Structure 1
Amino acid sequence: MVPPEMARILWHNGGLDDFRHRVRGRRPDLDALLEALRAAGERWASADRGSVEAEAPEATPEWLSTSEVASRVGLTTRAVVLAIGEKRLSAEWSSGRWMVSREELEHFKAARAGRRA
């Protein structure tokens, strides 16, 4: 059994939608499983959980993964994680991975440019 929140993460960040399109119709049991994951994730996302806490950031246009940051800055993913660990880059830990806001990415790029000058 997959918890609904994990189903949502797998669906949106794990590429399951693309996978579903590639294998659709080949195995009815796989089609049903993927649809159940999608539906559970969507129900979780639309549920009113009554929490006043902000939801953890997902990979959206406002939030970037460490690999996305690395490609935009010209570093390795490991170097980005090191910068986070050294507090040179602010990030949020979400669902087992670091997420960096676009605003923080811009600050980081400016700081790197300032060190090179």
Structure 2
Amino acid sequence: MPAPRPTEHYLHGDGHVVIVPARVAAWLERRVALNRVRIDARGLDPEIDAVLGALRISALVWRSAATGTEDTTPPEPDATSNQWMSTTQAAIHLGITDRAVRKAIATGTLNAENTGGRWRIHRDDIAHYRATRPTGAHRVS
């Protein structure tokens, strides 16, 4: 992964405009329920509506490109859904070992849900993990 850009890179117009990458918009949607905020704030302020709508579209486009599927996450994740992977499936997808996946989960660098003693990892989280880790890190030889 390339070196992270400095904070100033995302500020424009003397700090009055912030550029939000699509991957970050998708992360915000998943982690802080940004879509719920968008729905709850609808109609309060036209500029807020427009910006939150743009973030939503950006997140959907990134998610579709990153996972190859449309945003169809059910309210309660289905264990048989193709949106979820086991640690073994995630390891194969990432090209790392199952142990490396479990270690990433344990350290909090890879988000996962433990259901019935088994880890389930959402495809979005795998895409985020891939985007944030150094190229070649934990690669299987």
When normalised by structure 1's length, the TM-score is: 0.48
When normalised by structure 2's length, the TM-score is: 0.40
Greater Cα radius of gyration, structure 1 or 2: 1
The structure where helix makes up a greater share of residues is 1
